[in-house]
Structure 1
Amino acid sequence: MQRKSLWMLLSFALLLGALLVWLQRGDGIARQAERQLLLPALAGQLEKVRALEIRHGELPRIRIVREGDAWVVPDKAGYPAAAGEVNRLLRALAAARKVEAKTRNPDNHARLGLAEAGEGAATRLTLEGLGGAPQVLLIGQASRQGGQLVRWPDDAQVWLVDQPLALVDNELAWLDRRIAEIPFASVREVAVRHADGERLRAGRDSAEQFNLNLLDLPAGRRLAYEGALNSMAALFSSLDFADAASLAQVAFDGRPELEFVVRTFAGGELQGRFYLRGGQHWLVLGESRGLGAQLIGQRDWAYRLEAPQYAVLARRAGELLAPRE
């Protein structure tokens, strides 16, 4: 009896030892996988990526394609993409390392934003050009520990990686929305003409003069406050659009609601005109010279500006003058 009990205890100990070895082996494999690069094929090979696609659930895809040294959005008539955002994403993907293996249970995927479809669907990122078939990564929620939860479409294993990879699923956010970046200090004059013929010219004599003046100031009148016209020049220091449409796809009839000219001390000039369509203000750029990289927008496109942006430029002298004394 004692011998039988001894054999039972010995067998149990051997079984327990084998189980412990197996568990340690599995844990070792998991630890070995941790800190590995998420996309080793991308490391040092960013220039090989020819295209990327972003798709969240049933929303339309966002496709961005490399053309030479630039990125463009084909579905937006080839408009330039925000290269800084694209390169930031690629650098983050190339640097991303697996930090920790999370759940393998598919029932948890939707809760983590990593489901294939439906509620809790992941953002699907596709990279093309790295050799072989396109690489597809499912991107889920950001982790409270920092980093992002991800997995591969054919693998239930969820991984925490050490880089934030949240992707905006709005096409507009991936466009280069800059129209102009003309430094405020370089602007000599801004002139506007309304559809009814009223004109306004704001300007200054030198770059050392901070405030713009009303160049056609009526006799005996003064501005309501110093700097009342500065916003007209400052608008062009960081002018972004709210939407864009190719002039090959949209036409504007009738007279512009507003025309403008911006002139710089260095001899640069930008002309443009606004059209009112559906209650929205659309800017079409005209002739320009001497602005170089300060002008990013294109003449064959129309740019929708927000109402407050338009209002800054569509000033009238009467609203800028102090009451008569």
Structure 2
Amino acid sequence: MKKINLIIAIVALVAIIVGWLLGSDERQSEFSAQPVFSDLQRQIEAVDAFKLESASGIILAAKKQDGNWLAENSGDYPLQKDQVVRLLNNVVQAELNSAKTAKPENFARLGLQDIAQNDSEAKLLTLFAAEQQWSLLVGNTASSGNGIYVRKPGENQTWLSNTPLSLPTEPNAWLETKILDINLADISEISRTDHWRIVREAVDSEGGTSGEAKWQLAELEEGRALQYDSILENTAENIISLSFDALAHPRPYEIQEDNLQSQVTIKTNSSDIITMKLYRVDEKDLLVLDSETLDSRWQQWVYELSAFNAGRLSQNIEDFLQPLPEASVDTEPEGD
């Protein structure tokens, strides 16, 4: 009898424990649905700055000015607006989906140590709006690939959030890398000093000028032809659409003219002139832009270009043309 009572007691105890665990899971599930920042959605439009830091320092300090996002730690250079908007939306939507460790000795496993620790792998994201701010430590991606570990500074509880938070890894990552803010239709002429000049002019038809503007190679030698019809238009588009790899130096910055590799000049329909000088310094391709009539951000920097983009400024006239036919070889023997 005692044995039966003991078994009943054990079964009852197990049932109680299982019920408590299930209830705990249910309570945890209910809590996991809560947003990381419950009050952020109401104030997201007021957010006018954010900062991303790591143990090695500031990765990105950004501010909103006249509707644009600028990188304060890169001389107020414009940021890609879509990247910033996506980040802010994701932070608003981020949820605490499941609780993880609350033991500080385990923070490193999740990449959530305070960034004051030199070996911390965490990134500290802080949003600012007037007198209010929201901060979140962002750690490793879960081993399953679904979700990321997060922790609020000053709290020991860590969480798995299923909302992806894509963050820049270095200061240049989110900069607006397209250098010139100009359209091809605004350009009338592009030339490379001592090499070639292409102009956009109305095309002549049998009945006279058609009025349709087309890119043409000035002083095209008789008997030579372009590789294909759109090669000059593509060249012009490639030049005005150049992107940089990095902000190399703020100007003024002295570069010896002996290092000049190529000089390209752009003329607009309104007669503005933009000069692009490509230099080769310490195995890096550096670009400097100037204009006497325009005042733009690109005059404040020396840009580092990829070899591919540097090549777009170094084309020769033969790159546009079909190759010359091989000279015929007279195979008849010479007379005695």
Q: Give TM-score, length-normalised by structure 1.
A: 0.77
CA contact (8 A) 2:63 2:70 kept: yes
Cα-to-partner distance string for 1:195-254 (whole Å, 9 max, x where unaligned): xxx1411234349566x4321212343345544434421214532212223214x23344
Matched, 1:78 2:87: no
CA contact (8 A) 1:55 1:123 kept: yes
Match of 2:123?
123
- The alpha-carbon deviation at position 185 of structure 1 amounts to 6.1
Alignment match of 2:218 (pick from 201, 215, 220):
215
Cα distance in structure 2, aligned partners of 1:72 and 1:304: 20
SS at match of 2:26: helix
SS at match of 2:197: strand
Which amino acid in 1 is paired with 2:150? V
Which amino acid in 2 is paired with 1:323? L
Which amino acid in 1 is paired with 2:201? D
Which amino acid in 1 is paired with 2:308? P
Cα distance in structure 2, aligned partners of 1:133 and 1:183: 39
CA contact (8 A) 1:125 1:138 kept: yes
Cα distance in structure 1, aligned partners of 2:245 and 2:145: 34
Cα distance in structure 2, aligned partners of 1:313 and 1:270: 16
In structure 2, stretches of 5+ residues that fail to align are 203-210, 328-336
CA contact (8 A) 1:112 1:120 kept: no
Alignment match of 1:242 (pick from 242, 245, 255):
245
In structure 1, stretches of 5+ residues that fail to align are 290-294
Cα distance in structure 1, aligned partners of 2:131 and 2:172: 29
Cα-to-partner distance string for 1:249-285 (whole Å, 9 max, x where unaligned): x233448543333345x64755122152334222213
Matched, 1:200 2:215: no
Match of 2:266?
262
CA contact (8 A) 1:192 1:199 kept: yes
Cα distance in structure 1, aligned partners of 2:82 and 2:299: 23
Match of 1:272?
275
Match of 1:323?
324
- The alpha-carbon deviation at position 109 of structure 1 amounts to 3.8
Give the total of aligned pairs: 311
Match of 1:23?
21
Divergent runs of 4+, >6 A: 4-7
Cα distance in structure 2, aligned partners of 1:221 and 1:12: 97
Cα distance in structure 2, aligned partners of 1:70 and 1:178: 15
Alignment match of 2:41 (pick from 43, 49, 60):
43
Match of 2:207?
none
- The alpha-carbon deviation at position 36 of structure 1 amounts to 1.3
Alignment RMSD (CA, Å): 3.5
Match of 1:150?
150
Cα distance in structure 1, aligned partners of 2:6 and 2:313: 91
Match of 2:235?
232
Q: Give TM-score, length-normalised by structure 2.
A: 0.75
Which amino acid in 2 is paired with 1:157? Q
- The alpha-carbon deviation at position 37 of structure 1 amounts to 1.1
Cα distance in structure 2, aligned partners of 1:319 and 1:5: 96
Which amino acid in 1 is paired with 2:266? V
Cα-to-partner distance string for 1:14-61 (whole Å, 9 max, x where unaligned): 655654454344323211212211122221322332432222333554
Match of 2:94?
96
